[in-house]
Amino acid sequence: MREKAGKIEGDSNKKGKQGGVCKKFWECGGCEYKQDSYKRQLKEKQKRLEELIGGFCEVHPIVGMENPFHYRNKVHAVVDRDKKGNVITGVYKAGTHMVVPVDSCMIEDEKADEIIVTIRGMLKSFKIKTYDEDTEYGLLRHILIRKGFATGEIMVVLVTASPVFPSKNNFVKALLKVHPEITTIVQNINGRGTSMVLGEKEHILYGKGYIEDRLCGCIFRISSKSFYQVNPVQTEKLYKKAISLAQISEGDRVIDAYCGVGTIGLIASKQAKEVIGVELNRDAVKDAVANAKRNDIKNVRFYQADAGVFLTKMAEDGEKADVVLIDPPRSGSTQEFIDSIFKIEAGRVVYISCNPETLKRDLEYFKKKGYKAEGCWGYDLFPFTSHVETVILMTYCGNKKK
């Protein structure tokens, strides 16, 4: 998922409801649908799913949002100056490093947009210089806001080019005065000339340094860098479906591959004997371990590893599992990983995908291995963009001699 989104000016709600009349549409490039009605967007996504996945199984009607606006709980703004030297915040114009100034966006959380505008307004009086990518001079590069949908907790991440942040205590005080709803403020240091938003090092300026959110009855800790779905309303529907499709019973050993902060595995653990989570990102694994503790869940273990390498090792060691839940990034899974699913004799595979093209490729390989797709359910997690999320149930139908 791209970090930028279609921004609109003025009264976002009114315009949004009329079908997304966004003045920044052509400059920003975050949204791919403009004046299309929401129903039409869903129809097009459904058609795309049917074309790609219809050959494997039935494609059920895509589940859309009741209110498809302001759903993003993670908002990123680049800090820059315009030609006249005025401080601006906004998004990179698609495919460039030019910043399109924007104040509000029809798909972003409105409070997050408000906070970004407040911070921008404070920079001058606190003499905080904006970072210039060409001269590498200045301090503040990006502002990132994350919000817990169910808890209302808000994290502000100030990405700076150097660790020195003059009068940071007063800055924090002043920001909290305007927005007492902010629960934590983090300074992230990203000094490198890279296109990555976040650097490695962080200092907590206020609060606990992370936020928590509630999803499907569990509490999740989210730090600045960990992956967490950006649309919690739809995510809850998607995860509930995924877990019900897995038909997990008390004696089952479940693998949650590409597990992020452990969301799906921890929710599934309540029905399973044991859950094993595997994830590449070190910070996400730390959060996953903390999440297990936070929810007092004892039958889950998390490993930091490449999912393919990890599962291959499990298969070599003769380990078995009943259910594999898989939720890979846009590039999809690998043949090595799918080969190992077959070897550990998983009877059910629930595949959550954010890219129907790589899903199709992977389904073909699963089919070769004897896995039959039983159905495909689409969930619209990203209204006004062309992204579409799906969940597929597969069961093993080959002969069990492996």
Vertex 104: Cα angle to 101 and 106 (nearest 5):
125
Among 284, 300, 376, 381, binds ligand SAH (CB under 6 A): 284
The minimum distance between CB 276 and ligand SAH, in angstroms, equals 13
Residue 392 interacts with ligand SAH (CB under 6 A): yes or no: no
Q: Are 261 and 215 spatial neighbours (Cβ–Cβ below 8 Å)?
A: no
SS in 3 state form for 157-223?
A: EEEECCCCCCCHHHHHHHHHHHCCCCCEEEEEECCCCCCCCCCCEEEEEECCCCEEEEECCEEEEEC
Residue 295 interacts with ligand SAH (CB under 6 A): yes or no: no
Catalytic residue among 31, 216, 354, 376: 354
Vertex 165: Cα angle to 89 and 144 (nearest 5):
35
Q: Are 154 and 124 spatial neighbours (Cβ–Cβ below 8 Å)?
A: no
Residue 255 interacts with ligand SAH (CB under 6 A): yes or no: no
Residue 279 interacts with ligand SAH (CB under 6 A): yes or no: yes
* 354 part of the active site: yes
What is the distance between the alpha carbons of residues 31 and 4, in angstroms, rounded to a whole number?
Answer: 9
Among 21, 94, 123, 280, binds ligand SAH (CB under 6 A): 280
Residue 227 interacts with ligand SAH (CB under 6 A): yes or no: yes
- Closest chain position to ligand SAH (CB): 260
Tell me whether residue 256 or residue 322 sits nearer to ligand SAH (CB atom).
256
Residue 224 interacts with ligand SAH (CB under 6 A): yes or no: no
Tell me the window of 102-110, 204-212, 280-288, 355-363 that interacts with ligand SAH (CB under 6 A): 280-288
Q: Segment 59-118, which members bind ligand SAH (CB under 6 A)?
A: none
Query: Which amino acid is it at 59?
Result: V
| Contact string (CB under 6 A) for ligand SAH, positions 307-346, x = contact | x-------------------xxx-----------------
CA distances from 314 to 28, 78, 95 (A): 45, 43, 41
Tell me whether residue 99 or residue 278 sits nearer to ligand SAH (CB atom).
278
Tell me whether residue 114 or residue 339 sits nearer to ligand SAH (CB atom).
339
Vertex 222: Cα angle to 221 and 227 (nearest 5):
130
Vertex 3: Cα angle to 158 and 338 (nearest 5):
120
Tell me whether residue 203 or residue 387 sits nearer to ligand SAH (CB atom).
387
Looking at residue 98, the DSSP 8-state letter turns out to be P
Looking at residue 281, the DSSP 8-state letter turns out to be -
Tell me the window of 5-13, 171-179, 209-217, 256-264 that interacts with ligand SAH (CB under 6 A): 256-264
Helices 356-368 and 335-343 meet at what angle, rounded to 10? 40
Closest CA to 120 of 43, 191, 161, 175: 175
| C-alpha 186, offset from chain centre | 19
What is the distance between the alpha carbons of residues 392 and 376, in angstroms, rounded to a whole number?
Answer: 5
Residue 222 interacts with ligand SAH (CB under 6 A): yes or no: no
Among 13, 151, 281, 299, binds ligand SAH (CB under 6 A): 281
What is the distance between the alpha carbons of residues 28 and 101, in angstroms, rounded to a whole number?
Answer: 9
Among 258, 302, 351, 371, binds ligand SAH (CB under 6 A): 258
Among 91, 155, 156, 264, binds ligand SAH (CB under 6 A): 264
Total chain residues near ligand SAH (CB under 6 A):
18
Among 41, 184, 223, 229, binds ligand SAH (CB under 6 A): 229
Interface contacts to ligand SAH, rule CB under 6 A: 227-229, 258-260, 263-264, 278-281, 284, 306-307, 327-329
Tell me the catalytic residues. 354
